[in-house]
Amino acid sequence: MSLAKMKRTTIKDLAEMLHISASTVSRALKDHPDISSSVKRRVKEAAETFNYVPNDFAINFRKKSSKVIGLIVPAISMFFIPSIIKGISSVLNKEGYHFFILSSEDSYEAELENIQTCINSRVDGILISLTKETKDFKHFQKIDEMEIPVVIFDKIIPQDIYDSVVFDNEKNAELSAEKLIQQGCQKILAIFGDESLEITQTRKTSFLKKINTSPEIQYKTIFCESPEIVKEQLEVILEQESFDGFFAMSDETLAGLHSCLIKRNLNNTNIKVVAISEGKLPKYLDESYEYEINDGYQMGIIAASRLLIIIHKNNDDQSRSLPKTQYI
Amino acid sequence: MSLAKMKRTTIKDLAEMLHISASTVSRALKDHPDISSSVKRRVKEAAETFNYVPNDFAINFRKKSSKVIGLIVPAISMFFIPSIIKGISSVLNKEGYHFFILSSEDSYEAELENIQTCINSRVDGILISLTKETKDFKHFQKIDEMEIPVVIFDKIIPQDIYDSVVFDNEKNAELSAEKLIQQGCQKILAIFGDESLEITQTRKTSFLKKINTSPEIQYKTIFCESPEIVKEQLEVILEQESFDGFFAMSDETLAGLHSCLIKRNLNNTNIKVVAISEGKLPKYLDESYEYEINDGYQMGIIAASRLLIIIHKNNDDQSRSLPKTQYI
DNA sequence: TTGAAAGCGATACCAA
DNA sequence: TTGGTATCGCTTTCAA
């Protein structure tokens, strides 16, 4: 028997010791108005003395609620994820919820498994950001059948069945383009993330639309799945061409861009770097970089709050007021 | 009633439908050798058809084990934490364990609360990295009383009661110093983290001991709790003095140092930067930075594995082979 | 090879 | 104001 399984004081133990019933102990412990104050006092003393700790398992089991949320992310990276975790924590912990983190390692298969894991663990809800391989919601079938509340955030595929929270990618990409234009950049390199992601396409479309309003500006676009690939590609490109403006659609692409600029000693020249960022990284890389903020902490807060609303909402509810897809 | 609480198929349901007993269903489901293959087939078919999902809660409740680990960290940052999480995940998920993350927000009070939360949640074990405020183990009393397996990692205070996993800070600091000496640096600025942390003191002592073997080298040391404070302090210092070598004891301090060097256009000069790092960040900042690796992923793996060993070990075990404090 | 029954810890209903 | 009892879903003896 493992150490953790050692016997702990239970309500029944307390009841026997005090020669009263378990029901009375249970009620005394939670200050039920029916119970006399003298009994309450005795019970609480005993609980204290014998290190009574309520067994959340038994409680949740009885109440058929786990107070646990499953957080499924496409990958665990230093970009974005820590902020998301902080945001989600701040909401859930306050409400007595916990959450598991499951990483899909950029694989649809793993995402499916993670969903199954959540179901097996009887989570009360799921917060999920989709992998780049995820193109449909077939694997959400089980979630539907089990009627598990779910909120999709950040990496989504457009639909209006599930509640979603996303950044206003169009706006941020447009504002970024605007900044480069205002700076008078003539030749821009725009670096995007994985081409198969919805957020990439949205940012690309919006960015280019804005750039194209200034026909005199030349630009080039590349798609890179990681900072390392950004570096690889830039090594080649910057050998042949030069640019006076750079756009990075994320912290990841910005990281790759930065190390490349450093290597070629291009920082502190008159080039302009604009990015969409979670907010922390640019300050560490180079304070002269400008960026539009995609606040991961905020998104965590909003996604988690929204999930809790769904969880606590009755079936016969007063129709939802929020749009299925929420932009922040 | 929340959606998540909808009725799910249970073993009893299956038993009634098939006109057999619950025990038989339970055994059939887990391929118990006693059960005839025909019954197994029928049971499994029915389980499939009616979307039977074993209730992990009931199972854990019965077995008195939660299969949940509590991970308590001093703070959730983009440095180190993501790697730790990945390492821990890779070990625990494989073994059917989950974990929740609790952040102590650099506060002893919060750390105490987090420990209590773990106890209430009946975790099977605790992985903890201590806050800078933590100077003793008074708040571990409950852990002791409940006999909950615990492994302390990275941020520790020296003791030999609890199992601990730490980096070989002495070695890494010494190697870093060696690198700067070998490069012929004459004037070094050494940047350390929070002065009250054991890892800071160990790294400082070891670094300086090595540096002092070359009496001709001048050096200055500073202590900074965050990248932002590094930047603040460096702004002042670099205004008055210049250095040809820098040591950063962590990714956090390195981040602050880097942005300062960039701002003052000191990169790509003949200064030398050496750090102790989790391994990812220096590549994004500046590939010319050298570093000793403190591999967070590896530490996560080792700490989690060690915890599982404790959890599964019998009370009457064959005395431990590992030292209480393990260096990696 | 299968079934009946007890029990994990807490709660809530019904009686008293 | 208190006690007795059934119950949540599953596992595990003990019997048959």
**What are the tens digits of pLDDT across the range A232-283?**
999 999 999 999 999 999 999 999 999 999 999 888 788 999 999 999 999 9
Q: What is the pLDDT of residue A124?
A: 93
Two domains, one topology: B66-167+298-327 and B169-293? yes
Residue B172: how many CB atoms within 10 A of its CB? 22
Separation of CA B253 from chain center = 19
Find, in chain B, the residue whose alpha carbon is nearest to that of A89.
Answer: B102
With a cut of 70, list the residues of chain B below it in pLDDT. Answer: 1-7, 314-320
Ramachandran bin of A24, using left for φ above 0, alpha for ψ from -120 to 50, beta for the remaining angles: alpha
Q: What is the pLDDT of residue B188?
A: 95
Instruction: Give the CATH number of domain B3-54; options: 3.30.1370.30, 1.10.260.40, 2.60.40.1180, 3.30.1280.10.
Output: 1.10.260.40
Confidence of residue A3 (pLDDT cuts 50, 70, 90): very low
Verify whether the Cβ–Cβ distance B64 to A5 is below 8 Å. Answer: yes
Verify whether the Cβ–Cβ distance B125 to A85 is below 8 Å. Answer: no
- Sketch the domain layout of chain A as residue ranges: 3-54, 66-167+298-327, 169-293
pLDDT of A87 over the 50 cut: yes
Structure tokens given for A226:
């990681």
- Residues in A 29-58 whose C-beta is less than 7 A from nucleic strand C are 29-30, 52-55, 58
Residue B59: how many CB atoms within 10 A of its CB? 12
Q: What is the pLDDT of residue A7?
A: 67
The model's pLDDT over A116-133, given as tens digits with 9 standing for 90+, comes to: 999 988 899 999 999 999
CA distances from A173 to A179, A210, A211, A233, A302 (A): 10, 9, 10, 22, 21
Q: What is the pLDDT of residue B312?
A: 86
- For chain B, report the end-to-end CA distance as a whole number of angstroms: 50
- Confirm if B105 and B75 have CB atoms less than 8 A apart: yes
Residues with Cβ within 8 Å of A58's Cβ and at least 6 positions away in sequence, in order, are: B61
The model's pLDDT over A182-235, given as tens digits with 9 standing for 90+, comes to: 999 999 999 999 999 999 999 999 999 999 999 999 999 999 999 999 999 999
Chain B residues within an 8 Å CB radius of A122: 55-57
Ramachandran bin of B268, using left for φ above 0, alpha for ψ from -120 to 50, beta for the remaining angles: left
Instruction: Determine which helix (DSSP H) or strand (DSSP E) holds A151, and give its type and residue range.
Output: strand A150-153
CATH 3.30.420.40 fits A66-167+298-327, yes or no: no
Q: How close does chain A come to B278, measured CA to CA in Å?
A: 11
Top-level class of domain B169-293: alpha beta
Integer distance in angstroms from CA A255 to C1' D9? Answer: 50
Comparison of pLDDT for A145 and A131, the residue scoring more:
A131
Verify whether the Cβ–Cβ distance B284 to A120 is below 8 Å. Answer: no
Q: In terms of pTM, does the model score above 0.85?
A: yes
Chain A residues within an 8 Å CB radius of B98: 100, 121
pLDDT of A319 over the 60 cut: no
Q: What is the pLDDT of residue B7?
A: 66
Q: Which amino acid is at B100?
A: F
Q: What is the pLDDT of residue B1?
A: 33
Task: State the Cα–Cα distance between residues B114 and A5, nearest whole angstrom.
Answer: 20
Query: Is strand D in 7 Å reach of the CB of A21?
Result: yes
Nucleotide of closest approach to B10 (CA, C1'): D9
CA distances from A139 to A112, A143, A145, A242, B72 (A): 6, 8, 11, 45, 32
Percent of chain A having pLDDT more than 70? 96
Of A76, A148, A281, the CB nearest to B4: A148
pLDDT of A4 over the 50 cut: no
Verify whether the Cβ–Cβ distance A313 to B146 is below 8 Å. Answer: no
Q: What is the pLDDT of residue B70?
A: 96
Q: What is the pLDDT of residue B94?
A: 92
Measured from Cα to the C1' atom, the residue closest to D3 is A21
Q: What is the pLDDT of residue B103?
A: 97
